[in-house]
Amino acid sequence: MDEVYVLYRDRPEWKDVQPVPQDDGPYPVVQIAYSEKFRDCYDYFRAILKSDERSERAFKLTADAIDLNTANYTAWHYRRILLADLKKDIREEIKFVNAVIAETPKNYQVWHHRQVLLERLNEPADVLELTAKVLDDDAKNYHAWQHRQWGIQCFKLWEHELEFVDKLIRVDLRNNSAWNQRHFVVKRTTGFTDPVIERELLYTTSFIRRAPNNESAWNYLQGIMSERNLRDFPNVKVFCDELLSGSIRSPFLLALQVDIAEDEATAGDQAAIDRGIEICTALATKDDTIRRNYWSYRQRRFEALRQGQAS
């Protein structure tokens, strides 16, 4: 049977504390209709903040305050102060915070609290396992990805991360967060050396062939190519031509061709200017009309290059 909740004002051990009501000013506008339980708990929480009480009962009170509002930064901050002062078991606190994450996985404060705990513990604990579990429920949870990236960097947990990311991409090749993580890992481990670039190009183009309108893979491809001049990737240009010859008119494919053409045009290739203008016209009028103004702007840039070369 569940324990009956008792308001703080009715608890004998809190009789010595004068609660501090919330001050909304003399003329409150659109007051929040707090429940009696919420108002009671936070009146006592404000009281211990005011007196700076460092006790076991204050620590327990922060748990109730957090349960009522997991996004309350002050409650988490004061709990961290008490954790240190009372020399609480950090591993037990990690269990507490993991339970909160299970209920509110998109709460910044709880993830920050967890990071501070691992910093104090100076070990990764279950950072990979927990974030993998959260990402299994929501593969694009920004907070989980941020926490995972921090943990990997802080504790040097790079070894199997590419394998983890590869599994996510194979489950959902449109998972832009997983593609971003792949770039994050490669950039900070091997770096984009020539052999790595070749490997990553083969990897990425294989997924583009499966889903030519998948923006995530195209963005990753451009991220790889940004490590060099775009004209230094003739094999990518051939790949794009193959897709076009197969009647694929993906706006992301055409956009990359525009970027390549502009890079070649700035190096003095007149034919690239003509090609860039042609593709921009197609994008503005047929293939990506929602961004027609942008493609018209890009077309004018090619025309300016033409005029500059002619003068």
- Catalytic positions are 106
C-alpha to C-alpha distance for 14 and 278, rounded to whole angstroms:
77
| Residue among 99, 101, 14 nearest 56 (CA) | 14
> What is the token pair recorded at 9?
């004002």
φ and ψ at 105, to 5 degrees? Answer: -75, -10
Sign of CA pseudo-dihedral 145, 148, 150, 152: negative
One-letter amino acid of 71: A
156: exposed, middle or buried (Cβ count in 10 Å: 0-12, 13-18, 19+): exposed
C-alpha to C-alpha distance for 203 and 256, rounded to whole angstroms:
17
Q: What number of other Cβ atoms are within 10 A of residue 67's Cβ? A: 13
C-alpha to C-alpha distance for 244 and 236, rounded to whole angstroms:
12
Q: Where are the alpha helices (DSSP H) in the chain?
A: 36-51, 56-68, 73-85, 90-103, 108-121, 127-137, 142-155, 161-171, 176-188, 194-210, 215-225, 234-245, 251-266, 270-282, 292-310
